[in-house]
Amino acid sequence: MPEIAVWLIIAAPLAAAVFNGLVIRPLFGPVSRVAFDATAGSIAISFILSLWALYAVWTDQEVVLPLHEIIRVDEFSLRIGLLLDGLTAIMLVVVTSVSLLVQIYSHGYMRDDASYVRYYTFMALFTAAMLTLVLANNLILLFVGWELVGLCSYLLIGFWFTRPSATAAAKKAFIITRFGDLFFLLAILGIFLSWPDDTPVTFALSDPNASMDLLSAGGTALTGTALTLICLGIMAGAAGKSAQFPLHTWLPDAMEGPTPVSALIHAATMVAAGVFLVARFLPLFEEAETARTIVALIGGFTVVFAASMGLVMNDIKRVLAYSTVSQLGYMFLALGLGALGPALFHLFNHAFFKALLFLGSGSVNHATGTFDMRLMGGLRRVMPWTYGVFLIGSLSLAGIPPFSGFWSKDEILGVAWSYGGSLGTILFLLAFVGAFMTAAYIFRALFMTFHGQYRGGEAQEAHDSADAHETHDEGHGSTPHESPWVMVIPMAILAVLAIASWFINFPATHWFTDLLKPLGAHVEEIQVVPAAIGLVAGLAGIGVATALYRGGKTSAPSISRPLAPITNLLTRKYYMDELYENLFVGKVLYGWMWRFLAWFDSDKGVVDRAVNTLGLFGRNVGKGIRVVENGQLQMSITVLSIGAVIIVAAYIVWGGVG
């Protein structure tokens, strides 16, 4: 595969973003439909090229692309290039296919929006940035893509910036992910500082021409505590981007953005970038046992932690958001146990069925004008297509065979099962509880949304001002109806993928694992016991949800009343928002840091005092000099003469003139 074709994967959507933003919007206005053609067309090009890349990797196993030097300072040479291996090829196909379907869906969903062109500009820019991130063969270039997707996420969460909650959510997402990125940046600096002196430092991930590249450096160039700290920094960056505990709070709020954005960025691609990053640096993590265990534990904890909150949310998108956090936890769990294949397989399947669920929720919103499930109900009759695809997505998420979610979740459960030891046991239990909760919350959502009687939607919401603070009015009609074909067809395609995407890793062929073999993945045999346990957990979750919510009930007093303290804790999201608001922002930032900075800046502190002192110094020196510099000619000459006499005298005394 020629190098130019690989670069074109990034360049096509980037060109579309520039074209939309700088040509279409100024010349054809903010609602020109050309923007859709440009974005969808360019991403279709990227998609086809990605398939070519996948084929090239599949047949060739290794496509070596050159590195190009862009900066040179003495010994240090920064060379950027693209890396095409199994991991990248999988990510390319996931990103471009989901992105393409979401663009088509958005054509219907965003039809009436006044900022149609701006939407497609950001979407194209996001896709280009995400592709840069996964293709980069240089940590610096990767970081550029990493920050660009964060920026696009910020822009798209705050897309409806006239709504204060949207701008607040955008800022929250940006600041929390930036907090994680800070540690990622420190890890990059750590690599630079702890690199051995006898080899020139390289940020290239894989470089056949150098004696050592980043991915082969673990255990040789980078060792011990330094390597552990670097891995933890990478992990912190990944946790911020993938919304893992304790940096998960931004993702549920990020649902303020348009629903297709949630499907693309906050379900399928950008939040998976953290998993991608850890998977990419797995050779380093393999050498840092402590960091690897922490990854597994954070992932395992997040699985249950997030899933439990999903159980009580009344906003369908928030249920899906916590579900995403929880499912990403599964992937981190697998990566922490060194299981590259299952983690990526779950990422692959999850991207399709979770994007499908989000698009389904968008379709529901399109019909009812609300995201509050208490105001939905009974939609199965008026929206058969949406109901059908949502059911498929739910079954896949719940891990019911033969849907794709079962196969990858089963592999992860199997990995934890056979890992053994106390770590393996703990993680298996967490994964098991998570599987139960996953099935329970998604079927609760399904019953509340589609079963029972219709409870009024947007009209009821407007009527019921008590719930006004939870509304997500996106301005659609309030009589339920099936969504247009342009929205249904992408959902139908994703539904097919949610059923069948696991065929890529069919137990007899293992194509998927073969792709990742050069990176150290090995075939996971299906283990009957953990698979059966996982299936039982999923069926039990569905059973509980059916028992409690069948027939369109909106609450389950038989459960929630006895467990009121727990329900309350879950509804308040474990008070994590309050903790951050009151403790970190209120006490640490405003209480200590800002106060210190205010003191530091004040008259009694350092900055102002230094400035004042400098000013006084100048004034006093001036005062002293003014006495001499009085413009008196003879005074000047007197000083000059005395100076000359002193110099001559010194020369005579010490200069050795006889």
Partner 1 sequence: MDALALQHYLLLSAGLFAVGLVGVLAKRNVVVILMSIELMLNGVNVALVAFSRYSPVDELAGHIFAIFIITVAAAEVAIGLAILLTIFARRNTVDAAEINLLK
Q: Which residues bind partner 1 (CB under 8 A)?
A: 629-634, 636-638, 641
**Shortest gap between Cβ of 181 and partner 1 (angstroms)?**
59
Q: Which of 582/638 has CB closer to partner 1?
A: 638
Q: Which of 529/639 has CB closer to partner 1?
A: 639
Q: Which of 582/636 has CB closer to partner 1?
A: 636
Please give the C-alpha separations between residue 554 and each of 334, 446, 471, 538, in angstroms, as whole numbers. 35, 11, 17, 22
How many C-beta atoms surround the C-beta of residue 120 within 10 A? 29
Q: Which of 565/631 has CB closer to partner 1?
A: 631
Q: Which of 547/639 has CB closer to partner 1?
A: 639
**Shortest gap between Cβ of 607 and partner 1 (angstroms)?**
36
Q: Which of 557/658 has CB closer to partner 1?
A: 658
Which residues, at least 6 apart from 69, have a Cβ–Cβ distance to it below 8 Å? Answer: 77, 78, 79
Q: Which of 70/646 has CB closer to partner 1?
A: 646
**Shortest gap between Cβ of 646 and partner 1 (angstroms)?**
15
Q: Which of 520/624 has CB closer to partner 1?
A: 624
**Shortest gap between Cβ of 647 and partner 1 (angstroms)?**
16
Q: Which of 526/639 has CB closer to partner 1?
A: 639
Q: Which of 604/626 has CB closer to partner 1?
A: 626
**Shortest gap between Cβ of 652 and partner 1 (angstroms)?**
14
Please tell me the total number of residues recorded for the chain in this structure.
Answer: 658
Cβ–Cβ < 8 Å for 132, 144: yes
**Shortest gap between Cβ of 635 and partner 1 (angstroms)?**
9
**Shortest gap between Cβ of 643 and partner 1 (angstroms)?**
13
Cβ–Cβ < 8 Å for 457, 368: yes
- Which residue do the tokens 């502190």 mark? 605
Cβ–Cβ < 8 Å for 358, 418: no
Among 116, 134, 404, which Cα is nearest to 260's? 116
Q: Which of 429/637 has CB closer to partner 1?
A: 637
Cβ–Cβ < 8 Å for 255, 586: no
Among 545, 526, 570, which Cα is nearest to 395's? 545
Q: Which of 114/637 has CB closer to partner 1?
A: 637
Cβ–Cβ < 8 Å for 275, 235: no
**Shortest gap between Cβ of 631 and partner 1 (angstroms)?**
3
**Shortest gap between Cβ of 656 and partner 1 (angstroms)?**
20
**Shortest gap between Cβ of 636 and partner 1 (angstroms)?**
8
**Phi, psi (degrees; rounded to nearest 5) at 211:** -65, -30
CA distance 136 to 205: 8
**Shortest gap between Cβ of 641 and partner 1 (angstroms)?**
6
Please give the C-alpha separations between residue 452 and each of 316, 412, 455, in angstroms, as whole numbers. 16, 36, 9
Which residues, at least 6 apart from 323, have a Cβ–Cβ distance to it below 8 Å? Answer: 306, 307, 310, 354, 357, 397, 438, 441, 442
DSSP designation for 66 = -
Residue 349 sits at the vertex; the CA angle it makes with 345 and 350, to the nearest 5 degrees, is 110
**Shortest gap between Cβ of 77 and partner 1 (angstroms)?**
58
**Shortest gap between Cβ of 639 and partner 1 (angstroms)?**
10
CA distance 438 to 323: 7
Among 268, 348, 331, 330, which Cα is nearest to 513's? 348
Cβ–Cβ < 8 Å for 191, 227: no
CA distance 380 to 386: 8
Which residues, at least 6 apart from 642, have a Cβ–Cβ distance to it below 8 Å? Answer: none
CA distance 328 to 514: 23
Helix, strand, coil abundance in the chain, percent, nearest 5: 75, 5, 20
Amino acid identity of residue 344, one-letter, is L
Q: Which of 606/637 has CB closer to partner 1?
A: 637
Amino acid identity of residue 652, one-letter, is I
CA distance 115 to 99: 19
Q: Which of 594/651 has CB closer to partner 1?
A: 651
Alpha helices in 61-163 (DSSP H): 86-109, 116-135, 139-157
- How many angstroms from the chain centroid is the CA of residue 91? 14
CA distance 337 to 293: 7
**Shortest gap between Cβ of 627 and partner 1 (angstroms)?**
12
The token pair that represents 517 in the structure block? 């073999």
**Shortest gap between Cβ of 638 and partner 1 (angstroms)?**
6
Beta-bridge partners for 372: 315
Q: Which of 59/630 has CB closer to partner 1?
A: 630
Q: Which of 508/633 has CB closer to partner 1?
A: 633
Beta-bridge partners for 81: 67
**Shortest gap between Cβ of 625 and partner 1 (angstroms)?**
12
Q: Which residues of 106-118 are buried (b: 16+ CB within 10 A; e: fewer)?
A: bbbbbbebebbbb
